[in-house]
Amino acid sequence: MACEANVTKGKQLVLLARNDLDTAYELIGGVKTRGYTLDSPVEDVTSSSTTTSYQEAEYTGFSQASFTVSGVADKRTGVTDPATGLNIVGYSRLIEIATQGNRCGKFKMLNVDSGGYIEGYFNVTSFSSTGDTPGLLGFDATLQSKADIAVIGAV
């Protein structure tokens, strides 16, 4: 009797990436640890009404969102995950985005239990993969974005 690995069973968070045709999300794997930072500093600027002094102007600074993920790649590639209903691509899609073109793709970190998520276009700025046990493959990635992102609910 063989057992199929299911990294989403009992896992609250999954990492998703859009497919090449940008028609659907695909499942990369379960997320064990994650962290995210939303950075939107305010800079001092002058305006026409304050020619001799500075005022803080909202929306003039830069903004950046980044998140780090560490997880287990789902090895059931090419099938539909029963927990999410999504096609499983494993971490091959993440490697493809991390190593080709402008290293940018549309990602979503989804909380399966609450439906909360972080979604947007992110550059893969760091990627690593490790695995000691045959068939078990872990990944670590850092994704950063200066584009608009959505943060909905508890992630």
Q: Find the CATH number of the domain harbouring 121.
A: 4.10.410
133 pLDDT band (50/70/90 cuts)? low
Chain segment 93-120, per-residue pLDDT in tens = 888 888 988 888 999 998 888 889 999 9
Establish if 8 belongs to a structural domain: no
Amino acid letter at 126?
Answer: S
3-state DSSP call for residue 10? coil
Tell me whether residue 5 is in a domain.
no
Q: Kindly state whether residue 6 falls inside one of the protein's structural domains.
A: no
Q: Domain span at residue 109?
A: 13-152
Q: Domain count of the chain?
A: 1
Q: How far apart are CA 117 and CA 120, in angstroms?
A: 10
Residue 17 inside a domain? The answer is yes
| 37 part of a folded domain | yes
1 within domain boundaries: no
Distance between start and end Cα atoms, the chain: 36
Instruction: Give the residue-averaged pLDDT of 38-62.
Output: 57
pTM: 0.75
Task: Using alpha carbons only, give the angle 62, 66, 145 rounded to the nearest 5 degrees.
Answer: 55
Q: How many CB atoms lie within 10 A of CB 147?
A: 13
Q: What stretch of H or E contains 93?
A: helix 92-99
